[in-house]
């Protein structure tokens, strides 16, 4: 077995929201009973002879195809010892010191530590992270600019209130097709970037660096499944919108449309968070599309609001960063090449080459910075949930070469 942490669905996992109080091979009295078919404990490489626990752990070999971070070698139980199985529990004075071989301490994380871990990975491993997002963002924006230039310029924006209804529907349909096309291009680029970034972040947790070629080799076997997961989620949200919103347009009922939007938005948000951890589960556990959805649902259960809050805060931060970069260049492009306010009124500002190029440059810079932040937070949320529920920190410490972890309080 390789030195990367094992990450497969356990045959019998702890109850939701609990960290087991004893190692899986010796459950405490009255504690959870583990499945007799639980896979045997994993074999982890120890530090080189004579190396102290405080020294830098040796680099771990990359996981081979078909192996991942699943509990194939997982032993579950609290590595902290004592009466309470987690740091900061009742009767404890805050969080005890924890091993930190990489960008996060190996214990349950708070919101600040998750955000800081994502930023720390970007700073420490920028030679691997930023080129990936830069290439993907550039390809996406080039395709988007060409699509907007040669499709949006053919749209007729009617201003006559008595405009023919069929013509208005045709215009809206074309605009929607352009929007869907741009979103599809972004989704494809996001699939590749997210898959590779997940591998880089997983190694950063262990204190190991990763090259672009290594990240690609590790991510490539799962890219087809990652694409299937993305398309399945997109299709699900599209069907949800079709069922709740489209009938209102067909019936020409604005009131029914508003009601459909109010019903679709909270339901879509709930599903979005419920399956938000499916991507790292798919990549790191080397599992299938439907199993990754089930894993995400299980990990999110009972902590939906916490994950929603952290995800929402990340979205707000990244949106502000992107706006600070994109909007000044967009307005500059409109002012210099798009005809200013008159160009906005006539619709030519959105299709002028200069305006499109400057806006695209701003979007490339913004996505290069924002994309790894979003991916990193998702991966660290996944790791945090497994630390809280499955004692994954014990396996991570072993994979990182931390000696005697879990026997003396971390």
Give the torsion sign (CA, 107, 113, 118, 120): negative
Verify that 70 and 157 share a domain, yes or no: no
Same domain, 90 and 155: no
Lowest mean pLDDT segment, chosen from 61-75, 358-372, 382-396: 61-75
Whether 58 and 159 share a structural domain: no
Predicted confidence (pLDDT) per residue in 268-309, tens digit: 999 999 999 999 999 999 999 999 999 999 999 999 999 999
Asked if residues 143 and 158 have their Cβ atoms less than 8 Å apart, the reply is no
The pLDDT of residue 242 is: 84
228 plus 348 within the same structural domain: yes
Q: What are the tens digits of pLDDT across the range 149-158?
A: 776 665 545 5
Q: Please indicate, yes or no, if residue 55 is contained in any of the structural domains.
A: yes
pLDDT beyond 90 at 355: no
Tokens of 195: 């898959």
Indicate whether 301 belongs to any domain: yes
The answer on 406 and 335 residing in a single domain is no
Instruction: Kindly report, residue by residue over 201-236, the tens digit of the pLDDT.
Output: 999 999 999 899 999 999 999 999 999 999 999 899
Q: Looking at the domain assignment, is residue 114 inside a domain?
A: no
- Residue 113, pLDDT > 50, answer yes
Task: Examine the domain organization and report whether 102 and 189 are in the same domain.
Answer: no
Tell me which residue range forms the domain holding 150: 119-388
pTM > 0.85: yes or no = no
Residue-level pLDDT at 150: 72
DSSP 313: H
pLDDT > 50? residue 186: yes
Q: Which of 71, 44, 62 is nearest to 285 (CA)?
A: 71
pLDDT-derived band at 344, boundaries 50, 70, 90? low
Per-residue pLDDT band at 96 (split at 50, 70, 90): low
257 and 316, same domain (yes or no)? yes
Looking at beta carbons, which pairs linking 260-266 to residues 24 or more positions away fall under 8 Å?
264/240
Domain total in the chain = 2
d(CA 73, CA 68): 10
In a domain, 140, yes or no: yes
Which residue in 372, 341, 335 sits closest to 355, CA to CA? Answer: 335
User: Based on the domain organization, do 145 and 261 belong to the same domain?
Assistant: yes
Q: Is the pLDDT of residue 134 over 90?
A: yes
Is 76 contained in some domain? yes
- Tell whether 142 is covered by a domain: yes
DSSP 8-class letter at 336: H
243 domain residue, yes or no: yes
Identify whether 311 is part of a domain.
Answer: yes
Q: Which residues contact 401 (CB under 8 A, 6 or more apart)?
A: 45, 46, 47, 51, 57, 58, 60, 101
Residue 31: pLDDT over 50: no
Residue the block writes with tokens 């002012």: 335
Q: Is the pLDDT of residue 184 over 80?
A: no
Same domain, 265 and 398: no
**Tens digit of each residue's pLDDT (9 = 90 or more) over 146-180:** 877 776 665 545 555 445 556 656 666 666 776 77
Residues 105 and 232 in one domain: no
Tell whether 87 and 139 lie within a shared domain.
no
Residues 404, 263 share a domain: no
């Amino acid at each position: 077995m390789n030195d990367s942490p094992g990450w497969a669905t356990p045959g019998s996992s702890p109850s939701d929201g609990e960290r087991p109080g004893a190692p899986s091979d010796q459950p405490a009295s009255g504690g959870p009973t583990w499945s007799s078919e639980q896979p045997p404990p994993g074999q982890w490489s120890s530090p080189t002879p004579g190396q102290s626990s405080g020294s830098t752990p040796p680099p771990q070999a990359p996981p081979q195809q078909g192996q991942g971070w699943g509990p194939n070698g997982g032993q579950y139980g609290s590595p902290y010892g004592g009466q309470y199985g987690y740091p900061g529990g009742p009767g404890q004075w805050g969080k005890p010191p924890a091993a930190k071989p990489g960008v996060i301490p190996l214990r349950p994380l708070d919101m600040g530590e998750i955000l800081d871990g994502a930023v720390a990975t970007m700073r420490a491993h920028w030679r691997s992270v930023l080129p990936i997002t830069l290439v993907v963002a550039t390809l996406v924006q080039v395709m988007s600019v060409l699509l907007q230039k040669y499709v949006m310029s053919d749209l007729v924006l009617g201003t006559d209130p008595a405009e023919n209804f069929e013509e208005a529907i045709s215009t809206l349909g074309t605009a929607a097709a352009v929007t869907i096309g741009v979103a599809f291009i972004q989704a494809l680029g996001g699939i590749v970037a997210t898959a590779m970034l997940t591998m880089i972040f997983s190694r950063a947790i262990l204190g190991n660096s990763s090259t672009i070629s290594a990240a690609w080799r590790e991510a490539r076997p799962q890219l087809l499944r990652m694409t299937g997961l993305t398309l399945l989620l997109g299709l699900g949200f599209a069907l949800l919108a079709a069922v709740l919103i489209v009938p209102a347009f067909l019936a020409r009922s604005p009131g029914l449309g508003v009601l459909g939007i109010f019903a679709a938005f909270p339901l879509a948000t709930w599903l979005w968070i419920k399956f938000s951890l499916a991507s790292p589960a798919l990549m790191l556990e080397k599992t299938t599309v439907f199993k990754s959805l089930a894993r995400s649902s299980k990990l999110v259960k009972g902590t939906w609001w916490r994950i929603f809050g952290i995800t929402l805060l990340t979205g707000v931060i990244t949106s502000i960063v992107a706006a600070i970069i994109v909007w000044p260049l967009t307005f500059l492009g409109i002012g210099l090449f798009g005809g200013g306010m008159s160009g906005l009124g006539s619709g030519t500002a959105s299709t002028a080459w200069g305006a499109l190029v400057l806006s695209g440059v701003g979007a490339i810079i913004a996505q290069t910075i924002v994309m790894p932040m979003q991916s990193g937070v998702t991966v660290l949320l996944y790791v945090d949930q497994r630390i809280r529920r499955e004692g994954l920190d014990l396996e991570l410490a072993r994979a990182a070469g931390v000696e005697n972890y879990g026997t003396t309080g971390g």
